[in-house]
Structure 1
């Protein structure tokens, strides 16, 4: 059965003295966006295809957050009452319940959705978990649960004036919901944003979690030095990943134009710079749990500009030999990429990290150009691309042979 999500966005924040704040928990800022945007994207990442937001009022900040989600393709419905929300779910639909202001790691969502409902994620009842809602003398609710549409409908039928979130929790406990306990350490459990200070340090935790092991060496060992700090800074400034990705492609295109004008070092520097800029855009998108709009097209345009830069460099060296060398390097790189795609289709592997891609060629050429000049750099690019193609072709052939059925095997 499909997975849906019910996100609660009713409670206001509290100050240090416990007085009501001036906004909703859902609209507290988190890495340049809001808590509710993070919750919705987490639910989508866990597989939810149907999102409902339960609210009592719609301040401007919440409306803007929903507009940003919808602009990025995240469809979310708004319900004003629990009865209205219940009518939007199928009784047999699995329902991810996200508490007001709850922010959790993707792994927690994934662990929860793999279990049969009803199930609740809990934390121990101890001194530093007072912000979590109590279940009994040993446990408190961590803010995540997996129910079904029928549970929400039955709760709505008897709710009256009671609190929707607490009543859903109590009904799940009465129904014998199983429990998954989080780690007792603060970093191992969800945060409940009852006040702005509850999110302190969470941006750094999310930034660490957004790092992935890239399959090509420039992004794994070179660009990763800068993409994290810069992406974190841009996220706090509410910068969208799209203009950053476009800037990367623009830098590569401008570099080709500058190289055509005869300024090889400046143009090549711009082409080289496009790699870390693109990596920053990708890290920023992961940090926001989003995809870059038109991201595939932008990246294809950028890599095409990198290949064009190598060809322009060979042409600028003034002899047909170097132009041919550059064209052969690009052709070998494209052939290697084709073999890599074939290998991925056969076995799910992408080959060793050192094989050439456009960023790898540019990064490898830079020190050779500094030490020995442009001609040596173009020659090195050809050698690197041919070696990479030979390795990927060998792996592809071996993978194809492993996947060929044995016609002599007994039936």
Structure 2
């Protein structure tokens, strides 16, 4: 099993009395972000090595626990040994480390004691050789922590553990060049906020299909850093998406097709932003609901346009487009989609130019034909798979 050991002992450089690990980082605290990376790498237990408990740390511990892992706080190496499973592999995260999931996964895939090292050019990294410094991540056996527990208690836990692991002949792997710009140690609140917003923006999903990628995901990603910096709540975007979505559907049913579709597209963007904020903050239920809100509104736009025609043909075209679009969404989970493929998000965009000139049946036919063509291409892709 994999466990995580995160050190949270140092104060922020510009906030006296505040632990650096509890500083805001991409909508979370730094320690929550580190825990999320460890959990994504397979950790089932998170142990926090702390010097003192603070309200911010207690809140972070509670939120980390909601992700379905065991969370414990310890003050000494002896307490850590008692808490950890004796056969666990322990991923160690130094105080103030900023990194990415790829770097943590690289280390977690190793076997035996391993240190992530970098060139000795950053004075925030602890030196372990003539020209080598510890980059703040390690993978160790519980036995190394037992060695620290056997030493006098006035030793610094993190530094002593590092020395013992380094002297035991641990393997050293170098921090990849590609990761140098997204890896470091930081305890300044403003620098952490900037760094966190930039890293979290890169974590957002980049859908392959054009409508999902450019109509919702890209604007959401661009708006994320200022929203995180201001602490924007996800519920505000959920409420905005609901109001705009209902307003857009009402406009379509009232005969204002083009205006309604534009408002619905705005509602879908708000839902995407709200989903991202909820996902970042581990708001499980809002994240699940908002994940299906945008495609749900797109499907509703098809049915609304069909209803606005007041014709059986309009309803038939709308239902056919919704069914084809739904099948495309299912198949896209099993087949790697191409950029040109349709999606439910694409439906209001495809219909918009025809709605502007007052051709709702043509709009529905175009959306349905596009979804059907994508469905046929997706089926062929699955058939051709070896």
TM-score (norm 2): 0.89
Distance 1:26 1:336, change over 3 A: closer
Residue in 2 aligned with 1:337? 329
Residue in 2 aligned with 1:61? 56
Output the CA distance in 2 between the equivalents of 1:351 and 1:184.
30
Residue in 2 aligned with 1:99? 94
Output the CA distance in 1 between the equivalents of 2:188 and 2:81.
29
Following TM superposition, by how much is the alpha carbon of 1:97 offset from its aligned partner in structure 2, in angstroms? 0.5
Following TM superposition, by how much is the alpha carbon of 1:356 offset from its aligned partner in structure 2, in angstroms? 2.3
1:311 to 300, 303, 323: 303
- Which range moved further: 164-173 or 381-390? 381-390
Distance 1:78 1:134, change over 3 A: same
CA contact (8 A) 2:63 2:282 kept: no
**Structure 2: segments with no counterpart, 5+ residues:** none
CA contact (8 A) 2:257 2:356 kept: no
Residue in 2 aligned with 1:365? 351
Residue in 1 aligned with 2:365? 379
Residue in 1 aligned with 2:337? 351
Q: Does 1:390 align with 2:372?
A: no
* Structure 1 moving runs of 4+ over 6 Å: none
CA contact (8 A) 1:245 1:277 kept: yes
- Give the aligned CA root-mean-square deviation in angstroms: 2.8
Following TM superposition, by how much is the alpha carbon of 1:103 offset from its aligned partner in structure 2, in angstroms? 1.2
Output the CA distance in 2 between the equivalents of 1:124 and 1:225.
35
**Structure 1: segments with no counterpart, 5+ residues:** 403-411
2:142 to 127, 143, 149: 149
- Which range moved further: 100-109 or 237-246? 237-246
Q: Does 1:190 align with 2:189?
A: no
Following TM superposition, by how much is the alpha carbon of 1:124 offset from its aligned partner in structure 2, in angstroms? 1.5
Output the CA distance in 2 between the equivalents of 1:76 and 1:247.
35
Residue in 2 aligned with 1:180? 173
Residue in 2 aligned with 1:405? none
CA contact (8 A) 2:103 2:179 kept: no
CA contact (8 A) 1:246 1:298 kept: no
Structure 2 counterpart SS, 1:358: coil
Distance 1:396 1:180, change over 3 A: closer
Output the CA distance in 2 between the equivalents of 1:245 and 1:176.
53
CA contact (8 A) 1:336 1:392 kept: yes
CA contact (8 A) 1:91 1:153 kept: no
Structure 2 counterpart SS, 1:49: strand
Residue in 2 aligned with 1:203? 196
Following TM superposition, by how much is the alpha carbon of 1:219 offset from its aligned partner in structure 2, in angstroms? 2.2
Q: Does 1:49 align with 2:48?
A: no
Following TM superposition, by how much is the alpha carbon of 1:382 offset from its aligned partner in structure 2, in angstroms? 2.3
Task: After superposition, give the CA deviation of every residue in 1:122-156 in whole Å (9 maximum; x if it has no partner).
Answer: 22123xx1122121221121111111122112311
Q: Does 1:140 align with 2:133?
A: yes
Query: How many pairs align?
Result: 386
Q: Does 1:320 align with 2:320?
A: no
TM-score (norm 1): 0.84
Structure 1 counterpart SS, 2:16: strand
Task: After superposition, give the CA deviation of every residue in 1:258-284 in whole Å (9 maximum; x if it has no partner).
Answer: 433454344322322233223324544
